[in-house]
């Protein structure tokens, strides 16, 4: 299992730097300026530096330009594309593919890396948990948002109350919290907690879906809710049994 430690650290750093630690200002500037954006290069440099730092060895210096450079190129391509589910997935897959290729290219000199990672950093289950939790908090929200955006547009067109009267980003934060609760319940074997959460969410979310366009609103909420629950449940099972 020691081979998992480093790659899990890298993925954790990737999720942190790509989502909560990347200011919205950087994203907008990259979209507007492309290769002329200084934030594009700073963002790539941070990714490369983080990956290199986790190896704990100067001999892996090449990770800085390789990971940083490829991240810059991938992001420069992504920011000029529409914010759709397909492009989001392609972007993340390309980043993770680069990390995977770099990881496997290091296997001949694994001893140096392993000597650094053992100790307080060497519990692979902690890193697996970090990856799963971060995925459910940040990427999963974007994933569900992109997957349901076509239905959201239909509700916007008819000025459905669920769109016009909702708090900004409230649905996203509700989804983050519910997935974290599901993860905690399943990881600790408290499956009944998941059932209680589903029942409570159903009562609260569907009670006010009445009146004109109620069927479309109900279907939209149901799709998003089920996607969120399934993501949390599968992630929780991964933590519990691996």
SS3 track for 70-131: HHHHHHHHHCCCCCCHHHHHHHHHHHHHHHHHHHHHCHHHHHHHHHHHCCCCCCHHHHHHHH
- pLDDT above 70 covers a percentage of the chain that reads 84
Instruction: Give me the pLDDT at residue 73, please.
Output: 98
- CA 145, CA 232: separation in Å to the nearest integer? 15
- CA 228, CA 81: separation in Å to the nearest integer? 25
pLDDT digit string, tens, across residues 141-163: 889 989 998 888 888 877 666 56
DSSP state of 180: H
Residues 6+ apart with CB under 8 A from 194: 182, 185, 186, 233, 236
What count of Cα atoms within 13 Å lies in the side-chain half-sphere of residue 167? Answer: 5
* Per-state percent for the chain, helix, strand, coil, to nearest 5: 80, 0, 20
Domain boundaries, the chain: 2-122, 140-241
Instruction: Give me the pLDDT at residue 120, please.
Output: 46
Contact 161, 41 (CB under 8 A): no
* Burial classification of residue 52, based on how many CB atoms lie within 10 Å of its CB (0-12 exposed, 13-18 middle, 19 or more buried): buried
- pLDDT above 90 covers a percentage of the chain that reads 49
Instruction: Give me the pLDDT at residue 174, please.
Output: 87
Contact 18, 95 (CB under 8 A): yes
Contact 197, 139 (CB under 8 A): no
Residues 6+ apart with CB under 8 A from 133: 180, 183
pLDDT digit string, tens, across residues 93-118: 999 999 999 998 887 655 555 665 55
- CA 231, CA 82: separation in Å to the nearest integer? 24
Tokens matching residue 51? 């990956």
- CA 140, CA 28: separation in Å to the nearest integer? 21
Range name among 49-53, 65-69, 166-170 with the lowest pLDDT average: 166-170
Instruction: Give me the pLDDT at residue 217, please.
Output: 79
Which helix (H) or strand (E) element contains residue 195?
helix 191-206
Tokens matching residue 154? 């239909």
């Amino acid at each position: 299992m020691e081979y998992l430690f480093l790659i899990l650290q890298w993925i954790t750093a990737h999720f942190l730097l790509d989502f909560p630690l990347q200011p919205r200002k950087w994203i907008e500037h990259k979209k507007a300026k492309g290769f002329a954006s200084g934030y594009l290069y700073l963002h790539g440099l941070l990714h490369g530096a983080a990956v290199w730092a986790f190896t704990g060895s100067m001999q892996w210096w090449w990770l800085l330009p390789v990971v940083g450079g490829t991240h810059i190129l991938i992001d420069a391509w992504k920011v000029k594309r529409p914010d759709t589910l397909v492009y989001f997935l392609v972007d993340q897959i390309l980043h993770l593919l680069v990390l995977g290729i770099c990881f496997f290219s290091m296997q001949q000199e694994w001893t140096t890396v392993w000597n650094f990672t053992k100790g307080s950093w060497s519990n692979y289950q902690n890193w697996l948990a970090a990856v799963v939790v971060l995925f459910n908090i940040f990427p999963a929200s974007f994933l569900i948002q992109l997957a349901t955006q076509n239905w959201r547009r239909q509700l916007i067109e008819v000025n459905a109350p669920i769109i016009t009267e909702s708090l900004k980003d409230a649905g996203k934060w509700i989804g983050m919290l519910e997935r974290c609760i599901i993860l905690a319940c399943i990881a600790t074997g408290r499956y009944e907690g998941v059932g209680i959460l589903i029942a409570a969410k159903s009562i609260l979310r569907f009670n006010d879906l009445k009146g004109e366009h109620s069927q479309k609103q109900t279907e939209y909420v149901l799709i998003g809710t089920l996607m969120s629950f399934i993501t949390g449940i599968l992630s929780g099972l991964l933590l519990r049994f691996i």
